[in-house]
């Protein structure tokens, strides 16, 4: 006779790259779907990803602060049925070395120069659809599946009417991001756009940025670093969104049919996202650092060691440049005069064109894979 293993929930170690809140927000949405399918998810990580995951501690089986693989216990690796990496490459090699099945979620495959070495052994890589993805070399690999937007699938209608301006600076918190936050808030809050929403302006950002801004801003605006759930609630209530061009926040706004305008980029992915959105007519009145005569446009799919210093140099130049400030002021003035409803409809149509909800697709696929892997009959035990 054969004896099947006791059906305990499979444990999935999950990590997200610590680059703002976007990757961790995707992981939160995926974890919710996986829990509904009987998977226990343990978060491991640091930085902004840990910051956001900790605000949703009840969603996870555990939340573990870890700078690297050596901070993860061997017993946890041995108990894991798999490792889910949301764009994270720090922990993936350890999973592969220990024989733990690796699964990857990537929303930026369309802008990469190649598949990172840390992900090449993944059993499945889910690539979020976006402009240019279908031109990416190697997309035909059986390892890769293209999915729609990885955002919360269930929308709840906001209570009351939409009102107020939401300025989303993202979760990045380096010194150059704080300079960026000061640049943006100084110009936007002095603009005719902010005057339209007097007393009804909210700024969302990472903890470090909020602490820096609190010392400088009066009580006429709300400053907060929120959980993902609370951030979505504020998004639902907003009449207008002004956001850094991170892809998760962008798609969440488009999904909700919120008229969305864009701030300059803070990193290379935002640099490429904003350029793509402007090219598709989805980001009118948006200042890009490469609009400045002193900043050279960056090539597509630049290697990390080349692109990161160039982006930081552009941020340092742009946030200290009087011409950039004047250009930003003009953008805010243009936004205040535009047809917001028409733009929101166009942005939502683009969102819908990307396909069905990717979070549902990934959670169902991954839970099914973990279940099948655990359903192998155990060796017969002596009677």
The answer to whether the CB of 295 falls within 8 A of the CB of 319 is: no
The answer to whether the CB of 200 falls within 8 A of the CB of 272 is: no
Q: What is the pLDDT of residues 194-226, one digit of tens each?
A: 999 988 999 999 988 898 888 877 656 899 999
* Verdict on whether the full-model pTM lies above 0.85: yes
Looking at domain 11-153+357-374, which CATH architecture does it have? 3-Layer(aba) Sandwich (3.40)
| d(C-alpha 301, C-alpha 96), whole Å | 26
Query: What pLDDT does 7 receive?
Result: 66
What Rg value do the Cα atoms of the chain yield, rounded?
A: 22
Positions in the chain whose pLDDT score sits under 50: 1-5, 377-383
Query: What pLDDT does 190 receive?
Result: 92
Exposed (0-12), middle (13-18) or buried (19+): which is 138, by Cβ within 10 Å? exposed
Query: What pLDDT does 163 receive?
Result: 83
Q: Where are the alpha helices (DSSP H) in the chain?
A: 22-36, 47-54, 74-79, 92-97, 175-189, 192-196, 207-214, 228-237, 247-255, 268-279, 304-318, 322-337, 340-353, 358-374
Domain residue ranges of the chain, discontinuous segments joined by +: 11-153+357-374, 165-353
Return the CATH fold of 165-353: Rossmann fold (3.40.50)
Q: What is the pLDDT of residues 144-158, one digit of tens each?
A: 999 999 999 977 766
Same CATH fold, 165-353 and 11-153+357-374?
A: yes
Query: What pLDDT does 302 receive?
Result: 84
Exposed (0-12), middle (13-18) or buried (19+): which is 220, by Cβ within 10 Å? exposed
């Amino acid at each position: 006779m054969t004896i099947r293993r006791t059906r305990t929930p499979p444990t999935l170690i999950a990590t997200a790259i610590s680059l703002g809140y976007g990757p961790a927000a995707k992981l939160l949405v995926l974890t919710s779907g996986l829990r509904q399918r009987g998977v226990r998810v343990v978060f491991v990580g640091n930085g902004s990803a840990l910051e956001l995951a900790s605000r949703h501690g009840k969603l996870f089986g555990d939340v573990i602060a870890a700078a690297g693989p050596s901070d993860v216990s061997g017993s946890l690796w041995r108990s894991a049925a798999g490792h889910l990496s949301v764009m994270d490459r720090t922990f993936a090699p350890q999973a592969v070395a220990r024989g733990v099945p690796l699964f990857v979620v990537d929303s930026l495959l369309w802008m990469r120069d190649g598949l990172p070495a840390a992900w090449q052994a993944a059993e499945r890589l889910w690539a979020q659809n976006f402009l240019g993805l279908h031109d990416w070399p190697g997309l035909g690999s059986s390892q890769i599946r293209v999915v729609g937007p990885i955002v919360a699938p269930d929308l709840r209608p906001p209570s009351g009417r939409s009102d107020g301006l939401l300025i989303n600076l993202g979760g990045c918190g380096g010194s150059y991001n704080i300079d960026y936050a000061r640049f943006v808030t100084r110009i936007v809050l002095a603009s005719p756009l902010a005057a339209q929403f007097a007393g009804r302006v909210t700024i969302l950002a990472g903890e470090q940025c909020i602490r820096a801004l609190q010392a400088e801003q009066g009580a006429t605006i709300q400053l907060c670093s929120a959980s993902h759930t609370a951030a979505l609630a504020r998004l639902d209530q907003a009449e207008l969104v002004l956001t850094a061009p991170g892809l998760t926040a962008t798609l969440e706004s488009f999904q909700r049919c919120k008229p969305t305008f864009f701030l300059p980029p803070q990193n290379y992915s935002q640099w490429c996202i904003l350029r793509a959105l402007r090219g598709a007519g989805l980001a009118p009145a948006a200042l890009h650092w490469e609009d400045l005569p002193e900043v050279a446009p960056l090539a597509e799919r630049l290697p990390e060691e080349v692109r990161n210093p160039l982006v930081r140099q552009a941020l340092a130049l742009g946030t200290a440049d009087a011409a950039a400030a004047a250009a930003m002021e003009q953008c805010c003035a243009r936004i205040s005069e535009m047809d917001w409803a028409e733009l929101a409809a166009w942005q939502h149509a683009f969102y819908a064109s990307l396909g069905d909800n990717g979070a549902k697709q990934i959670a169902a696929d991954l839970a099914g894979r973990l279940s099948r892997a655990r359903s192998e009959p155990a060796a017969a035990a002596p009677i």
